[in-house]
């Protein structure tokens, strides 16, 4: 089994209210994943870095993880990553860990090849720093071509636009050049395959809202040296992180219907974290109803984060006023709307005098506005549309 990026002890500051739950679930996920590896009769487990969130991890959490690892009947090979590198204060050198390290757990602290089974060689690339611009796999020695060779590294495949030069860059042809049967990578949280022999398993339990395919482990079968590995994806996550967005401009009823339907279609809403982005414009008359909707969602989901930064509830926004400062035509529209609102009997909230030009619409236009039954709310609506346009511009 190939896994990585357990991030045990994750701070989860972005979902702080459920941080304890998120941390506890990560340990349970590791427990279940290792049980699965044993059930599937894997020969051993490779963890390609970032087992721990950092080197300052609490001793109680370390003990908790060790108690889970020691229950696994399989050998487990752990590579330090960039979150838990082999610095002098490394978690892997702390007595709490070294004194209680179960016999089946092996920390890969050097580049020396390891033979987990006769005829199988693991080539480890441990990290000694948080960042590095050199290729972590460059130090592997030449080994016998008759063995199944498995590289284990933590870093970024050098795919244009997908890596930073100081983020442990790994050349794309590493598996080929080193004659590896399989290259087990860690660092990217989503499952990712490059060619037939280079894989990121991703994290077994998602760590945020922006991961496209996390929550997996890989069961890898290699029949013999040079054979194409058979790689099977297994779902391991307990929690699901989703991003939803809603434009409230077409009415809150429609959004209410859509959001409630999403929740009702979830298998277990209590295991789902959602980031909901709201935008468009919503009359402040509906803000109580929006609050109610948010409470409805919060009561059913494990966690709901509402991003209302782009939602316009006030008819006059700072964005609109800013734009009006340099746009004379906007000042003249604001002038027309202000006069119209006064004529309709519901003056607008304070518009700064310097942003208003003109004397308002002609008498004929005003007569039309009154005769055609325009309401004060129509002026507010017009302002909201202007404000939304200003935001878009």
Residues contributing to the site for Mn ion (CB under 5 A): 50, 81-82, 187
For residue 153, the minimal CB distance to Mn ion (Å) is: 11
For residue 50, the minimal CB distance to Mn ion (Å) is: 4
Residue 130: what are its φ and ψ, rounded to 5°?
-80, -30
For residue 168, the minimal CB distance to Mn ion (Å) is: 8
State the Cα–Cα distance between residues 254 and 246, nearest whole angstrom: 10
Is the CB of residue 233 less than 8 Å from the CB of residue 193? Answer: no
Q: Which is nearer to Mn ion, 4 or 33 (CB)?
A: 4
For residue 123, the minimal CB distance to Mn ion (Å) is: 19
Q: Which is nearer to Mn ion, 82 or 198 (CB)?
A: 82
Quick one: which H or E segment has residue 153? strand 148-154
CA atoms within 13 A on the CB side of 132: 21
Is the CB of residue 2 less than 8 Å from the CB of residue 184? Answer: yes
Q: Which is nearer to Mn ion, 174 or 203 (CB)?
A: 203
Q: Which is nearer to Mn ion, 50 or 205 (CB)?
A: 50
Bridge partners, residue 186, by sequence: 154
Q: Which is nearer to Mn ion, 51 or 301 (CB)?
A: 51
Which phi-psi region, left, alpha or beta, contains residue 131 (left: φ > 0; alpha: ψ -120 to 50)?
A: beta
Number of Cβ within a 10 Å radius of residue 341: 22
For residue 51, the minimal CB distance to Mn ion (Å) is: 10
Closest CA to 30 of 50, 11, 48, 3: 3
Bridge partners, residue 312, by sequence: 281
For residue 81, the minimal CB distance to Mn ion (Å) is: 5
Q: Which is nearer to Mn ion, 21 or 130 (CB)?
A: 130
Instruction: DSSP letter for 66, please.
Output: H
């Amino acid at each position: 089994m190939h896994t990585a990026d357990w991030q045990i002890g994750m701070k989860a500051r972005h979902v702080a209210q459920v941080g304890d739950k998120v941390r506890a679930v990560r340990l349970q996920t590791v427990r279940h994943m290792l049980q699965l590896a044993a059930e599937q009769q894997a020969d051993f487990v490779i963890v390609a870095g970032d087992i721990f969130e950092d080197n300052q991890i609490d001793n109680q959490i370390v003990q908790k993880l060790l108690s889970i690892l020691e229950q696994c009947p399989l050998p487990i090979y752990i590579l330090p990553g960039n979150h838990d590198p082999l610095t002098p204060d490394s978690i892997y050198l702390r007595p709490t860990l070294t004194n209680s390290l179960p016999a089946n757990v092996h920390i890969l602290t050097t580049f020396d090849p390891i033979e987990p089974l006769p005829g199988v060689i693991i080539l480890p690339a441990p990290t000694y720093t948080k960042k590095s611009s050199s290729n972590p796999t460059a130090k592997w020695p030449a080994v016998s071509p008759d063995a199944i060779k498995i590289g284990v590294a933590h870093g970024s495949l050098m795919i244009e636009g997908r890596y930073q030069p100081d983020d442990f860059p790994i050349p794309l042809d590493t598996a080929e050049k080193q004659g590896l049967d399989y290259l087990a990578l860690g660092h990217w949280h989503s499952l990712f395959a490059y060619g037939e022999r280079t894989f990121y398993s991703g994290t077994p339990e998602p760590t945020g809202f922006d991961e496209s395919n996390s929550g997996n482990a890989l069961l890898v079968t290699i029949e013999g040296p040079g054979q194409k590995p058979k790689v099977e994806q297994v779902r391991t996550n307990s929690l699901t992180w989703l991003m939803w967005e809603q434009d409230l401009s077409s009415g809150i009823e429609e959004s209410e219907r859509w959001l409630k339907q999403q929740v009702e279609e979830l298998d277990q809403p209590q295991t789902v974290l959602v980031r909901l982005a709201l935008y468009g414009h919503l009359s402040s008359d509906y803000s109580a109803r929006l609050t109610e909707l948010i409470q409805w969602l919060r009561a059913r989901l494990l966690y709901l984060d509402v991003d209302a930064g782009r939602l316009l509830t006030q008819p006059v926004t700072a964005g609109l006023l800013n734009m009006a400062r340099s746009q004379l035509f906007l000042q003249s529209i604001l002038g027309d709307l202000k006069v119209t609102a006064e004529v309709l009997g519901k003056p607008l909230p304070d518009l700064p005098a310097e942003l208003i030009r003109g004397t308002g619409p002609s008498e004929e236009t005003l007569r039309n506005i009154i005769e055609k039954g325009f309401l004060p709310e129509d002026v507010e609506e017009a302002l909201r549309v202007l404000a939304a346009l200003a935001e878009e511009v």
